[in-house]
Amino acid sequence: MTGRSAFLREVIAGLSATPKTLPGKFLWDEAGSVLFDRICDHPDYYPTGRESALLPEAARALAGLLGPRATIVEFGSGASRKIRALLDALDRPARYVAIDISRDYLDASVRRLQADYPDVEMMAVCADYSQAVQLPPVGDGPVLGFFPGTSIGNFSPEEARAFLARARETLGPNRLLVGADPTRDEARLGRAYGESGGLMPAFHLNLLERLVRDLGAGIECDAFRHEARILPEPFRMEAHLVASRANTWRLDGHAIAFEAGESVRTDTSHKYVPQEFRALAARSGWACERLWLDPDGAFSLHLLSGAEPGGAAIGTL
């Protein structure tokens, strides 16, 4: 888990950069996690609904590929809602390993899930999955990594390659199911990332509130507004908090000045069409085994195999 000193260090480094940034992973405190759950339920935020429509078909296929007593390792488990499609479809899954950065939210989510799946061993790992993660022993049997949603897009392409390479080392000759968003419809993107009923601005502005709460920062939070930007090469959405007036942040002896109109980037969501994602996975040591694509091209699920050429597709952790 990221401690206060590491949190402060990364925030100062981002604010000292040109242009200014705040690490998007820090959006996910308990308040941010609750807000994002509400975003996922909003009709303008299309990825959740499109992915939910694809997951049952993918889960049925995985049941046949994995066989009984599989372990599922989810990177960025959040509310642990999407995992239910896999737990319901797989043949007597043995255990679920949930990895998330928000300790309180993680523990509460796993407790709720355990009540509904009493025969599945539940393991909560509070960790920053953008770094190397040490998993608990999971015994023998097939292992499936699970990285749903659009989280792979929050990394830059090089960061995504590094994450997938670390996941390959962690999971070994097993499989990884990854969600990716190929959307290029700018109107759809604007509705999803710009507003989502006012929830998306609240989600990003909560990061400023978190700096005040957790780091004692002196910030005029009402001097900033949320703005979503569509950028090409590589195609991506960026979230920015834009200063409506000149102001200065005070943080641990640092003074960070903002001019009127200057912004700090709070998140990025890269959009990968299937061929781009396949190339990215291949550079990370994975082979693409299956693809499930939304009929409108608004979401995709990629099943990656870490098996060596000519080797078994399923191994142990």
Q: Which structure tokens are listed for 278?
A: 């396949």
pLDDT, tens digit (0-9, with 9 covering 90-100), for 47-65: 999 999 999 999 999 999 9
Question: Is the residue at 315 inside a domain?
Answer: no
109 shares a domain with 173: yes
Mean pLDDT of 249-261: 97
Measured over the CA atoms of residue 228, residue 230, residue 231 and residue 234, the dihedral's sign is positive
Kindly state whether residue 253 falls inside one of the protein's structural domains.
yes
- Is 301 in the same domain as 256? no
Q: What is the pLDDT of residue 315?
A: 29
- Residue at 312 is within a domain: no
What's the pLDDT at 103? 87
Instruction: Decide if pLDDT at 12 tops 80.
Output: yes
- Does the structure show a pLDDT above 80 at 99? yes
Instruction: Give per-residue pLDDT as tens, 151-196.
Output: 999 999 999 999 999 999 989 899 999 999 999 999 999 999 999 9
Between residues 115 and 101, the one the model is more confident about: 115
Q: Residue 287 gets which letter from DSSP?
A: E
Residue 309 is predicted with a pLDDT of 54
Shared domain for 169 and 292, answered yes or no, is yes
Confidence category of residue 104, pLDDT binned at 50, 70, 90: confident
| Of residues 189, 220, 190, 225, the one with CA closest to residue 205 | 225
Give the domain range for residue 14: 4-43+186-270
The answer on 156 and 72 residing in a single domain is yes
Q: How far is CA 49 from CA 97, 173, 266, in A?
A: 24, 31, 24
Q: Answer yes or no: do 248 and 147 share one domain.
A: no
85 and 160 housed in the same domain: yes
- Tell me the C-alpha to C-alpha distance, in Å, between residue 215 and each of 9, 31, 258, 283: 11, 16, 19, 38
Break the chain down into helix, strand, coil percent, rounded to 5: 40, 25, 35
What pLDDT shows up at residue 307? 82
Q: What pLDDT score does 310 carry?
A: 43
- Mark whether 248 and 285 lie in a shared domain: no
pLDDT of 274 over the 50 cut: yes
Considering the chain, what is the average pLDDT of its residues?
A: 93
pLDDT for residue 158: 97
Coil/strand/helix, residue 256: strand
Q: Are residues 232 and 110 part of one domain? A: no
Q: Is the pLDDT of residue 95 over 60?
A: yes
In a domain, 239, yes or no: yes
Number of independent structural domains in the chain? 2
Q: Is 314 inside any structural domain?
A: no
Q: Cα(285)–Cα(41) distance, rounded to whole angstroms?
A: 34
Whether 96 and 210 map to the same domain: the answer is no
pLDDT at 2: 57
Task: Report the range of poorest mean pLDDT among 33-47, 74-88, 247-261.
Answer: 74-88
Position 22 in a domain: yes
* E runs forming strands in the chain: 71-75, 95-100, 121-126, 143-147, 175-180, 224-231, 236-243, 247-251, 254-258, 263-270, 287-293, 300-305
Same domain, 89 and 170: yes
Average pLDDT over residues 105-133: 92
Where residue 140 sits, what CATH number does that domain have? 3.40.50.150
Asked whether residue 316 is assigned to any structural domain, the reply reads no
Q: Over range 263-289, report the average pLDDT.
A: 97
Same domain? 294 vs 226: no
Say if residue 123 is in the same domain as residue 253: no
Q: Are 207 and 35 in contact (CB under 8 A)?
A: no
- Confidence (pLDDT) at 105: 85
Give the span between the Cα atoms of 123 and 298, in whole angstroms. 32
Is the pLDDT at 78 greater than 80, yes or no?
A: no
Q: Which amino acid, residue 273?
A: V
Least confidently predicted of 69-83, 112-126, 267-281: 69-83
Question: Across residues 249-270, what is the average pLDDT?
Answer: 97
310 within domain boundaries:
no
- The C-alpha atoms of residue 37 and residue 32 are separated, in whole angstroms, by 9
